[in-house]
Each structure stands twice: as structure tokens, then as C-alpha cells.
Amino acid sequence: MSLRVYNTLTASKEAFIPLHSNLVRMYVCGVTVYDDCHLGHARSAIVFDIIYRYLRYRGFTVKYVRNFTDIDDKILQKAERLRQPWDHVAAQYIQAYHRDMTRLGVCRPDVEPRATEHMGAIVEMIKGLLEKGYAYQVEGNVYYRVAAYRSYGRLSKRHADDLLAGARVEVDDRKQDPMDFALWKAAKPGEPAWESPWGPGRPGWHIECSAMSLQHLGETFDIHGGGKDLIFPHHENEIAQSCAFTGKEFARYWIHNGFVTIAKEKMSKSLGNVFAIKDIFAQSTCPESVTAEALRYFLLSTHYRSDVSYSPQGVAEAKSALDNLYGLLQRLEEDEATPVAPETSNVQRILDHTRAKFEEAMDDDFNTPKALAELQHLRGALNTALQQGMLSGERKVAVETLRRLGEPLGLLQVPITAWMFRPLRFRDPNLQASIKIDVDLRAPLTVGEGLSDEEIERQVQKRREARARKDFATADRIRQELAAFGITLEDRPDGTTRWKR
């Protein structure tokens, strides 16, 4: 069984075969840095993160490029509003982006090129397009001549006639055709500008991605991705520019992720239904790494091409599902003597079978919901095995397998002592609104103010002594005291006690 991916270009699932044997070259559209990232950005980043991780899991060498568009009209507008230099605004949001991605556990790409650092390449490309007749200049502006590119529309499955029928294209007298788009924008007084053969100005949106992907990945590369809202016009225009410039095929596989929606509607600023990533973390009652995995599990429980409807209780449910997997990890990692039933043990067979099913699911266009179901199925099988007795070697292998299968998904990577088993909730009423209120939200929530492992162990030991002399009043009192700090105790049959945060 080999990897198959859905290609927007051909509108079908295809066998994934990189151009150069084992090397995968992948370009993903990052963000225009003019504001904090929201859940939609998180989804896109996480989707391509798991694609990147899984390709490596599958033995490919991946060169992963994800850009920053750090010069754009929106950045200039923001700078004006804030009365700050535009490049400070960009730098600030690049930093915020990195902060959010780190929190989300998103791998850093191999290259993170910025438009402003590729002006030479951008200008060269525009020059080439002019020479070949695919562009024209008007008063210091350069436009792409869409009519000159025969197969324009093949990605978004649109035809020139349909586009004109839309009649929502901004009217610009200088364009020869309403569909033409800017490659270079002449600078107005006071605007940042770079020198060019057409006078001072800045690149139009789209050209920076063509130039940067060409420079870092070459003329033809394997995967180009982004949110599905980029299919038109952004990616369509990139294809037009790049193919016209090089005369070669551009990206071979186009991968697009679905939206995050709120109450069935696309998350967007105009609708005012945007949730910033930083707010999710700020409002969560769980530590960052736990919140990150809960959010990841939530997002990955829907296939990447479908829209996923965000809700606080959706994340809370994902957290519960993860708790059960971590609970299993905790029990597997406990070093206790268990009854042994080696002759009937089928643990290794179960693990092998799960790995095969997991890979089968991921090979089928990154079917993460199916992959998660396989992990959950494994949980049941291992729980049963655990109850019948597992050798310490088997338990070790089981833990390794769970962690190894979790890795390409970015899940099950938190050390067990750092996992928080208490339900995840959000403090803000807006985030909290649709959660059924079934827990006391005034209970202690913050991790930082909790007890240390040592303090907890000491109390657990005291309680053990009390139980040994049948002093259940004391034992129950200790349990209640720990519960006030959010610590749950679970007594095992052998008289020992496990605790959970």
C-alpha cells in the first residue's frame, strides 16, 4: 500500500510519487503578517504539519518551505492605524506567528522565506514575464495579462467567461482586462518602495510565492498547499505566473485544507466570529501542551478537506478522548508486578495490526479520523490485555508504539506527569457558552499554583499508611484535600495508589 493524495488540480486521488525518488519538495502558503493568527491559520498549519510529519514517518526526505508575505496593502493599512513603521508591524506579527506555532507544536519548516528578502528574484520574474509578453506596464505598475496564458483557470475549474460573468472584479482603468492582476505596484508618496526597472514600488500579491518557491524549490516541485480559499485567485495566479515564466510545470500536487467554521459559517473578520490562537491558550484551563494536543485532536478528528465546525465542547470532547489514551499510557508505564499470561499473549500481533491499519488510513489521503479510530481501537485491546496481565517488555513496546504512532499526528507526546487529566474548559463566556455546565468552574484551575509531584507523593504515602491501619476517615480527608488541588486518586488492587492532575 502506498500513499495516495487528493490533487485539486486533477480533482482526484492520485498515487503520490515525488519527482526525485525519495525527496519531497513542499511549499505551503503561510500568512500575510498584519494580525494575530486565528483558528483557521492553526488548522492550515496543523494540517500541513501532519503531512510533513507523515511524509517523514514514511521515509521521505522533505524540504518544507512556508513563506511570510511581509509587504502588502493590509500591512500598510495596519501600520497607518497603529502609527508604527510598517516593517515593525510585520516583524511583530512574525514573532506572534512563531509564538503561536510553537505552542501548537507545529514543526518549524526548513525554510521560512519572506517576500521582502526576495525582491531580486521577484523583479527578475516580472522582467521575464514582460519580455515574454505575459505582462505589460502602465505608469509604473505592471500587470499580468491573463488572456495570454491559455490554460488559465485549470486549478479552480473556471473559464474566463465565467469570471467575467461574476462582474465583481474591481474596476481599474489601467488594466487592459478586468481579470488582469498586479505584479508590481507603483509606490505612492510615503509608501515603502523597492527599486525596479519600472520605478519604485512593491510586488503585488501572488508574485512573491512564485518567486520564492522557484528560488527555494526549483521550477517544478511536488506539493503546493494552503487553505481552499487560496485556490482562486492566489494559486491560480501563481500557476499562471510560474508556468509562463519557466515554461515548465509548476507544482505537481495541489493540496487544500477546509475551513474552520463557527455555527456553519466561515470564520472571517467581517462576520466577527474569529477566535485567535493566543486567546484559546489564554482561556484554556489546561497547560499549553495539553491544550495544544486537545485542539489538534479536535481538528484532526475531521478530515483535512472538510470544513470543521469549531466549538468549545468539541475541544473538550477531544480532550476527554485523549485523556483515555493518556490513562492507558500511564497504566502501561507503571512498573508493577502483574499476573503473567505469556502463552496467550497476542500483544505484539495487536500492535503490528494497528500499525498496519494506521498507515493504511494515513496513506489514504491522510485520513486522520480513521487513524485516530485505530488508536482508540488499540486502546481497548491493550486495556483488555493489561487486565489479563502484560509482561513489562510488552508494556514497554506498547508504550513505544503508541508514542511512535502519535508522533506523525503530533499527539501523545506529552510526558505522563505533565498531562492534566482534569476536563478542559474555557474561562471566557464566549468560548464557554455552548458547553454544558456540568462541573464547578470555580474549582482551582491553574497548573502553576498546583502541588508539586513531591508534595503529592508525600500525601499519598500518608494516606496509604492511614488505609493500612483502617483509618479511613484520615484517608478520605487526604483525598478530599488533594481533590481541592485538582488531584484525583485511584486505588489499585495491590494497595498502591495512582494520582492524576
Partner RNA sequence: GGCGCCGUACCCAAGUGGCUAAGGGAGCAGUCUGCAAAACUGCGAUGCGGCGGUUCGAACCCGCCCGGCGCCUCCA
Using CB under 7 A, which residues numbered 151 to 180 contact RNA?
156-158, 162-163, 165-166, 168-170
Choose, by CB under 7 A, the member of 155, 372, 405, 435 that binds RNA. 372
DSSP string of 256-310, one letter each residue: EE--EEETTEE--GGGT---BHHHHHHHBSS-HHHHHHHHHHHHHTS-TTS-EE-
Of 424, 418, 427, 489, nearest in space to 459 by CA: 489
Give the three cell numbers for residue 443.
474549582
User: In the complex, what is the shortest distance from the CB of residue 388 to RNA, in angstroms, rounded to a whole number?
Assistant: 10
Give the three cell numbers for residue 472.
479511613
Paired with 224 in beta bridges are: 27, 254
- Give, as ranges, the residues between 325 and 344 that touch RNA (CB under 7 A): 327-328, 331
Choose, by CB under 7 A, the member of 457, 472, 484, 496 that binds RNA. 472
User: In the complex, what is the shortest distance from the CB of residue 159 to RNA, in angstroms, rounded to a whole number?
Assistant: 7
Interface with RNA includes 465 (CB under 7 A)?
Answer: no
User: In the complex, what is the shortest distance from the CB of residue 330 to RNA, in angstroms, rounded to a whole number?
Assistant: 8
What does the alpha-carbon distance between residue 473 and residue 42 come to, in Å, rounded to a whole number?
Answer: 49
Choose, by CB under 7 A, the member of 383, 416, 432, 447 that binds RNA. 383
Interface with RNA includes 67 (CB under 7 A)?
Answer: no
Say which residues have a Cβ less than 8 Å from residue 62's Cβ, sequence separation at least 6.
23, 24, 25, 26, 52, 55, 56, 110
User: In the complex, what is the shortest distance from the CB of residue 166 to RNA, in angstroms, rounded to a whole number?
Assistant: 4
User: In the complex, what is the shortest distance from the CB of residue 230 to RNA, in angstroms, rounded to a whole number?
Assistant: 4
Rg of the chain over Cα atoms, rounded to whole angstroms, equals 27
Give the three cell numbers for residue 68.
511570510
Choose, by CB under 7 A, the member of 110, 307, 333, 407 that binds RNA. 307
What does the alpha-carbon distance between residue 65 and residue 25 come to, in Å, rounded to a whole number?
Answer: 8
Interface with RNA includes 321 (CB under 7 A)?
Answer: yes
Choose, by CB under 7 A, the member of 75, 239, 475, 482 that binds RNA. 475
Interface with RNA includes 386 (CB under 7 A)?
Answer: yes
Choose, by CB under 7 A, the member of 334, 364, 407, 428 that binds RNA. 364
User: In the complex, what is the shortest distance from the CB of residue 22 to RNA, in angstroms, rounded to a whole number?
Assistant: 27
Which stretches of 191-259 are DSSP H helices? 207-217, 236-246
How are beta strands 221-227 and 251-257 bridged, if at all?
parallel
The sheet carrying 308-309 orders its strands as 265-266, 260-262, 308-309
Paired with 25 in beta bridges are: 63
Give the three cell numbers for residue 144.
499580468
Give whichever of 21 and 270 is closer to RNA, judged by the CB atom.
270
User: In the complex, what is the shortest distance from the CB of residue 373 to RNA, in angstroms, rounded to a whole number?
Assistant: 3
User: In the complex, what is the shortest distance from the CB of residue 349 to RNA, in angstroms, rounded to a whole number?
Assistant: 16
- Give, as ranges, the residues between 186 and 245 that touch RNA (CB under 7 A): 205, 226-234
User: In the complex, what is the shortest distance from the CB of residue 247 to RNA, in angstroms, rounded to a whole number?
Assistant: 26
Interface with RNA includes 86 (CB under 7 A)?
Answer: no
Give whichever of 145 and 379 is closer to RNA, judged by the CB atom.
379
Handedness of CA 14, 57, 105, 207 (dihedral sign): negative
- Give, as ranges, the residues between 89 and 128 that touch RNA (CB under 7 A): none
User: In the complex, what is the shortest distance from the CB of residue 165 to RNA, in angstroms, rounded to a whole number?
Assistant: 5
Interface with RNA includes 10 (CB under 7 A)?
Answer: no
User: In the complex, what is the shortest distance from the CB of residue 431 to RNA, in angstroms, rounded to a whole number?
Assistant: 16
Residue position matching grid coordinates 483525598: 479
Interface with RNA includes 493 (CB under 7 A)?
Answer: yes
Interface with RNA includes 306 (CB under 7 A)?
Answer: yes
Say which residues have a Cβ less than 8 Å from residue 385's Cβ, sequence separation at least 6.
345, 346, 347, 350, 394
Residues counted in the chain: 501
Amino acid at 83: R
Give whichever of 165 and 337 is closer to RNA, judged by the CB atom.
165
In this chain, which stretch among 19-27, 97-105, 188-196, 259-267 interacts with RNA, using CB under 7 A? Answer: 259-267
* Helix axes of 288-300 and 86-104: crossing angle, nearest 10 degrees: 80
Q: Are 52 and 304 in contact (CB under 8 A)?
A: no
Q: Are 368 and 303 in contact (CB under 8 A)?
A: yes
Choose, by CB under 7 A, the member of 172, 400, 465, 490 that binds RNA. 490
What binding mask, one character per residue, do residues 35-64 give for RNA by CB under 7 A, x or -? ----xxx-xx--------------------
- Give, as ranges, the residues between 283 and 302 that touch RNA (CB under 7 A): 301-302
